Amino acid sequence: MQIFLGYAREDIEHAKEVAACLKDAGYNVWRDGDLLVGGDNWDAERLAGQKAADFIIHLLSPVIDRRRSVAMREIRETLRLLEDEPFGSNLAMFMRLEDYRVPTQLTVWHYVDKFRDGWQVDLLRAVEKRVGQLALRNIAAAPPPIKDPMQEQAAEPITSKPVEISEGREGFTSRASYLKYRSKTPFWKLVNATLASRALSHHVGWEAQYAVVIDDIPPVDRDIDLWQEVAISESFREGEILSFRVYFHHYLGGAHPNHNVDSINFFGGEGGLVTIRDLLHYDDEAAKALVDLCYDRIMAVHEVDEEGTLTTREEMRAEAWQRLERFTFDRNALTFAFPPYEVLAYAYGIPECIVGWDEIEDKIAERFKPIVARIRGIR
């Protein structure tokens, strides 16, 4: 795993700390101060290191916005590289060194705050997610295994392949990407049908969407390129237990692109497709308690009070089930995502609340407790 670290020269001490954290975790870090020697073509070596990286991290501070710099050139190169990445790919991560409003162009990506306690955990969590994506990509790119007709189907490894669709006309493009698993068992048919349905329901009908949007744009502005995309990627997978993140991104005119997020979760053939209502056994009080916890954590992380939110606590509690619908999970925790404008303004991106499995274990429906124990690795 090769990681490129970009930063302004004024932030070199921060860069050294981040690089040390990554190296201690066993990752290779490209940082100009470590790898360049006398006589190297500095700019060419830097660009080559950035293009060859498996993961890119940019340290953000107000100094980057104040003057022309190589750090800004590196960020623009990363944005170009992201255009060639598969939908849903986490090639890059941005880390704030202090509490300030990042450039609007970068607010579509969730960032890590180095000035907060626990930044090392958040950093390594983002890197580990990228490691998982690359592993999935390698599996999808590999040829399908040779089938042994005498082997039981249930014992065959389940691999996947990416499905990508792009359609459009001059001035408008609609794209969709999702995974299709190579298995004919009823459970995997359900997974494939659900993923395809979620992606295609957003994609199909793009011509009607374009017709509606273009009518609202003044003729003088109709030379701009409009687009919409949906990307579904694995967030967690252990056998038949899967968690997917659904990411929507579009520009249909206006001051900036917009984005949203959703999720799809499966507890295998035993539990099937699982919603938050299923997981909490339709316990309204448990849902309200969980909303309270997320509301408090989001306000604490972003250092706002209730006056700085777009939704009051009581409004959140009144719509608790709807607010908690978008969650993914891994071995340690559930991550609840709240789209822009649902709790905070667009500039805050997509606020997330991480809740450990141990924090809600008494609220989980009895029939799911053995499955959650397997997810957590508890035997």
Lowest mean pLDDT, pick from 22-31, 154-163, 223-232, 265-274: 154-163
The CATH superfamily label for domain 2-140 reads: Toll/interleukin-1 receptor homology (TIR) domain (3.40.50.10140)
In 3D, which of 171, 184, 165, 337 has the Cα closest to residue 265?
Answer: 337
Structure-model confidence comparison of residues 231 and 152, the more confident one: 231
Rounded mean pLDDT of 250-264?
82
- End-to-end Cα spacing for the chain: 31
Give me the mean pLDDT over the 189-200 stretch. 94
Tens of pLDDT, residues 307-364:
888 888 999 999 999 999 999 999 999 999 998 888 888 778 888 999 999 999 999 9
Enumerate residues 6+ apart whose C-beta is below 8 A from 363.
280, 283, 286, 289, 290
Name the token pair of 234: 């694995």
Pair 102, 96: CB distance under 8 Å? yes
Give whole-number Cα distances, 276 to 269, 324, 351, 363, 376, in Å: 18, 7, 18, 11, 18
Q: How far from chain centre, in Å, is Cα 130?
A: 10
CA angle 360, 317, 257 (to 5 degrees): 95
| Strand blocks (E) in 160-208 | 160-169, 172-181
Q: Is residue 268 pLDDT above 90, yes or no?
A: yes
Per-residue pLDDT band at 242 (split at 50, 70, 90) = very high
Per-residue confidence (pLDDT) for residue 66, from 0 to 100: 74
Task: List the domain boundaries for the chain.
Answer: 2-140, 154-261, 275-379
Pairing between strand 241-251 and 226-238? Answer: antiparallel
C-alpha 160: how far from chain center? 19
Question: Looking at this protein, which amino acid is placed at residue 276?
Answer: I
Least confident of 26-40, 218-232, 301-315: 26-40
Q: Are 326 and 305 in contact (CB under 8 A)?
A: no
Contacts of 269 (CB under 8 A, 6+ apart): 185, 186, 187, 240
Tens digits of per-residue pLDDT, 34-70? 544 444 556 778 888 889 899 999 999 988 877 677 8
Range in 143-147, 161-165, 181-185, 188-192 with the lowest mean pLDDT: 143-147
The three-point CA angle 9-13-17 to 5° equals 130
CATH fold for the domain made of 154-261: Heat Shock Protein 90 (3.30.565)
- Domain 275-379 is classified in which CATH homologous superfamily? Heat-shock cognate protein, ATPase (3.90.640.20)
The rounded percent of the chain whose pLDDT value lies above 70 is 88
Model's pTM, two decimal places?
0.59
Is residue 47 exposed (0-12), middle (13-18) or buried (19+ Cβ within 10 Å)?
middle
Which one has a higher pLDDT value, 208 or 371?
371
Alpha-carbon distance 128 to 120, whole Å? 12
* Cα–Cα distances in angstroms (integers) from residue 263 to residues 102, 234, 311, 352, in the given order: 26, 10, 22, 13
Could you tell me if 221 and 206 are in contact, meaning their C-beta atoms sit under 8 angstroms apart? Answer: no
Q: What is the torsional sign of CA 105, 110, 113, 119?
A: negative
Model pLDDT for residues 165-187, shown as the tens digit of each residue: 988 877 788 889 999 999 989 99
Q: Under a CB-based contact definition with an 8 Å cutoff, are residues 123 and 18 in contact?
A: yes
The neighbouring-strand residues paired with 244 are 234, 264
